[in-house]
Each structure stands twice: as C-alpha cells, then as structure tokens.
Amino acid sequence: GLSKRGGHPVLKKNVKQWILNITQYADRLLDGLDDFDWSDEEKEKQRNHIGRAEGVNIKFGMGEDNDDLEVFTTKPETINGVTFIVLSLDHPQLDSIITDGCKEDVDAYIRKSEKQKQLSHREKAKLGKTGVSTGSCAIHPITKQEIPIWVADYVTSGYATDGVMGVPSGDDRDKDFAEQYDLPVISIYEDDHYKKEDGDTEGVLRNSDTLDGLNETEARAAIIQKLEEEGTGNQTVNYRMHDWVFSRQRFWGEPFPVIHMPDGSIALVDDADLPLELPAEPNYPPDNLEVDGNESDEVTNILDRSEDWAKTDEGTRETNTMPGAAGSSWYFMRYIDPHNADEFAASEKLNAWLPVDLYMGGSEHTTGHVLYARFWHMVLHDAGLVDSPEPFKKIVNQGLVMGEDGEKMSKSKGNAVSVDETIDEYGADVLRVYTMFLGGYGKTARWDRDQIAGVERLIDNITDIFEKISPDAEMDDKTKRDLHICIKTITDDTSQLKFNTAISGLMKFVNKDLKGVKEIPPELANILCRLIAPYAPMLAEELWCNVLGEEYSVHKKNWPEYDETLTTLDTVEIVIQINGKLKTVISVDATEADNEEVISQQAQTVEKIRNAIGGKQVNRQIFVPGNAKRSGLMNYIVK
C-alpha cells in the first residue's frame, strides 16, 4: 500500500526489535480491574483488548510426512460441525499447505488483501467475506473425513494458532463464508435456529457422534477428555493482546542503554555513562529504502548513520529507540521526586503519594497508555520499587465536544471551533467555564455559541459584584443562606466532577440571589473569589490581589466551608433559561425538584417562557435537578 501522507510505498520487512512480555501479566491486568474505580464500559474495553480466551488446540492431520495443523477454538463441542478450516494470510505453514495448482490464486488473493488493509472497517464490510482455497485438505480428528483448507483475511494474524475451524451451523460468520463458496453445512443442534445468547438455556447437540443428546457444557467436557486421551487436542488459554513491541526505527525517543558486543552478547551501558543521550544532529534518511521496490533485505535505522555515536570502543550501540509510552507509563512517579539524581524516585515519597487518587484522560487511552501504565507499575511492584500493585485509584474519562451540527469537529467539515479565536473574543476564563458548563464531564456535548454568551454574562456579573464591595456592608439572613447553599452546591458537585451543575449553582447565586443587592460585604466577596478560583482562575487571581488586596495567591487559600443547618430548603428554586439566557426563576416543592416533567409544565405556564418558546422548535431541554439543598436548572435550546 501507500502512506497516507505523500503516497509513498509502504514496505513490509522483518525487523529485530525489543519486545516486553506484557502477556505474562495478562491475568493480573484482568483481575486488577476490580481493584479501582473506573466505568464498567472502559473496563470492558480493556478486558476485550486483552481478550482472554479459554479453549482447546485441536490437531488436524496433514499426512505422515507433514506436521499436524493446529486450530484453536473456544467451542470444541462443535467439532463435528466442522466442514472447512480457514487460515490467516501469515500462517506459518501456509507455503507448505498450498498446492501447486492453487499457488497463483492464493498469491493474488494475499496481494489484494494487503492493499485492502488501508480500507476502513465500513468499506471492508461492504466487500463481504472473501477467501481462496489452498487446494489441500486436513483430516478431521474425530470423523477422519477430509476437511478443505482455505485462506481468508478475516482470520486475525498472530492470534492463537492463526487458524479457525469453520462451523457454519454454530457461527454466523462461518455460515456466510460457507454460503459464499458453497461449502457444506452440518446441523449440530437439535434446534436448527439455536444461537447462544446470555441467559439462554444451552443448546443440545445432534449429528455429533458420542456427543448426541448432551448439552453444550456436558459435550465440552466429554470432547476435551476424548481429544486429550487420543493426543489430538489440549486445553490452553490465548490472549488477543500481543506482547508489547518496544522498538521504534526513528531518531527521537529514549535510547536503549545497551551495547551489542562483537561476540554477539549484549552489555548494559555503565551507570557512570548514564543518562545516554541521542546525537544532536541525526543523518536523514535511512539509506536502504528504495522507492522502486528493489529494497534490500537488510534494515538499518536512522541512528546507524550517526557512526560517531553508534560505534564505541566496546561494540555497537542499540539504534532502535523506545516508544512514547516508555515515558508516559511512569511520568507521574517522577513528578513525585523530579530532582532525585540517584533513583527515579525515593521509595518513601512513592509510597506516600501512590497510587494516584484521580486520573483524568480520554477513553482513547484505555487500551494504550492506561494499560501500559498498569503493566509498568506491576513490574515495578514485583521489583519491590513501589508498594501499590495498581497506579491509579480512580479513572474518569472526559466526554467529547461536538460541533454545532452535532457531528465530530473537523476542519474538513467546517464545523471546528478555533480556541484562539474564541479566547480573543470572550477571554480564556469564559471559554474555560463554558466548556465545563456544556454538560457532564464524561458525556458528549454539543458546542452552542448562544450558550457561551450566558457564561460571558456570568463573568461580567461577577466583576460587577466586586465593584459593589463596601467595608460596612453586612449579610442579611437570606443572603447568608443563599451563600451557604452555593458553597455546598459547588463543593459537592466539584468533588463529584459535576462541573456543569456546580456552575449552575454559581449562576443562580450570582445572577439571581445577588441581583439588586446594592452593597457587598467583604466577607462574601472573599468567599466568592475562592469559589470561582478553580473555574475562572485568572479572573479570581486578579480580583483577589487587585480588588481585595489579599496576598498572592488565591489558589493557595483554604476552600470555603458551609454551615449544614443553612442549606436545607422546603421549596426549591429552578432557574429557567432560553438558550443559556436567564428568563425567570420558579419555585417548586422540594419533593418535586428532580421531576423534569412537572418542572417543564410549570415553567411553560409562565407568560415570559410561553412567549419565548411559542411557535419555535425546542431542539432539546437541559435539566439539572434540584433538591432540598440546592436549586435546579431548566435550559430550553430553541431555534
């Protein structure tokens, strides 16, 4: 195929690389998922990526002069339904299995499949299941019948035995393949339409020799015993996850501190010569890559060209470099003790700070960075360098901000929002508060330019409040109650990462509770400044130092505390907005404060709301429930 950038030929070569044996930790990585707080969805993604599968390697005979063909299956009880075998494009025995009469067709199919690797999953799905016959057959270990062997690109290379047994009556994918190439189907279930689903009773077998009349569990145990007694099968565990290829053929990245000696052995660089640094000016490009396709079999790296660096008195340095995950898998440990010149971090500091209380990142790291960091941490734990077996206590993944059209932002679609332009127009604090106000932290939200204006008004109103500070002003009982409810709302919601509802509470206090207040007590301003600090840090610092005259910095001050007795409400106020703009506030009984239908009905009895919505399309309504301790929010998005 060709590269996406530049359209250059992509060549496939065998390269010696460093590999980390992460599969040795596969079961621990699976078991450890129960030990920390993470969404079930993300845990399942990691489980599926690791892909632990218990099954049987079954041997199909290939004649006296050839090695048996082993096929892994998680459903050995369906063996009597096998009517074909499919191998991957890279199966190690493929060359010896292909007959002379089929070699040309197989080679052409492999070349075509290699080119189609650039296609998306959707494009591949349109092509359907494809394959080609090798011309050879294997001997069924039970029936002793000949089973045709095929090659297909839907069989994953590098997983288990690189081959699958085709059971059309037990697998939809196998059925599609059999129908495509007119291969036989043997019905092995008493119910021809049986498909195993969670919670279903097990299927009962037929046309399965000694397994007839047994359910799947019984049949599985019986066939495994038979295969093992006859030496044609053995139980095993396979993982979809491969060992971690830890080498990169490029200039950047951490260099491996090893030297290849003339006798073929490998020596570590002396501690006194660490850290090993890369040459300042690498030589580009690799000299073995020929665009006409007549490339040499030998592979050299960019660093091989820097001979002054690569060649030493003892031997030759390793010229592969480490991947980016070499650093990202443990950087948080180095942050704990960044200036330690003797070790990566002092054990007493590591044990005091680890595991990390909260990791926040994108779900794209689930099967990459997070998995590698967990593996890395387990290795360090086994070496006695850290006490905790897992690096994180809790993981939270942020949601995605979509374009105003509801589609993923993309320059090509023209729906991308420029951060720089938004900051120039509204300021960094407005953008920061708005992105947190869009929706729940882990939820997908849609960018709405109308709503950002509401956040801008909030910031303006906060600034106006600080212009009303009077040394002689005092808080009345209502204002004090409203303030303590605001403190509690922001405290509770921020600690639970409910930033959008925390901002709603702030909006209610600033835009509604303090509306019409002529003089602001310094005590209230001091507390308000600390409350907004995590959300609008630059504004808070400016107000703290320049308006309140306090010592730098507000971000080092204690968080405000609230009086619980002042935070319970009999009635709850619900802020009603249209496109993020405050229209009115309604009061509801505290028992109805979380009832979206009731609140929406009551809101639309208000003339101002009816007039704003009437004759227009309500695309959606954003509802933040209230309760006996805080107000709620109803925001109608109207076009």
**Structure confidence by residue, pLDDT tens digits, 588-609:** 998 899 999 999 999 999 999 9
Of residues 37 and 412, more confidence is placed in: 37
Spell out a b/e string for 474-499, using b for 16 or more CB atoms within 10 Å of the CB, else e.
Answer: eeeeebbbbbbbbbbbbbbbbeebbb
pLDDT tens per residue, range 567-578: 887 888 899 999
What's the pLDDT score for residue 451? 86
pTM attached to this predicted model: 0.80
For residue 338, pLDDT beyond 90: yes
Both tokens assigned to 368: 């990459």
> 602 Cβ partners below 8 Å, 6+ apart?
586, 588
> 304 Cβ partners below 8 Å, 6+ apart?
310, 319
Domains of the chain and any CATH numbers: 56-238 (3.90.740.10), 256-321 (no CATH), 448-566 (1.10.730.10), 571-638 (3.10.20.590)
Query: Confidence class of residue 229 from pLDDT cuts 50, 70 and 90?
Result: very high
Burial class (CB in 10 A: 0-12, 13-18, 19+), 542: middle
Alpha carbon distance 232, 82 (integer Å): 15
Kindly state the helix (H) or strand (E) to which residue 333 belongs, with its residue range. helix 331-336
- Determine contact, residues 221/78, Cβ cutoff 8 Å: no
Least Cα distance to 531 among 511, 551, 502 occurs for 502
Give the chain's mean pLDDT. 91
User: Helices 419-426 & 449-466, crossing angle to 10 degrees?
Assistant: 40
What integer is the mean pLDDT of 351-379?
A: 95
* Greatest pairwise CA separation for the chain in angstroms: 102
The type of residue at 482 is D
Alpha carbon distance 173, 183 (integer Å): 13
Query: Confidence class of residue 396 from pLDDT cuts 50, 70 and 90?
Result: very high
What's the pLDDT score for residue 9? 78
The type of residue at 109 is Y
- Determine contact, residues 397/43, Cβ cutoff 8 Å: no
Alpha carbon distance 169, 295 (integer Å): 47
Question: Following DSSP, what letter does each residue of 57-119 receive, concatenated?
Answer: EEEEB--TTS--EEEEES-GGGGGG--EEEE-TT-TTHHHHS-TTTHHHHHHHHHHHHHHTTS
Of residues 426 and 251, more confidence is placed in: 426
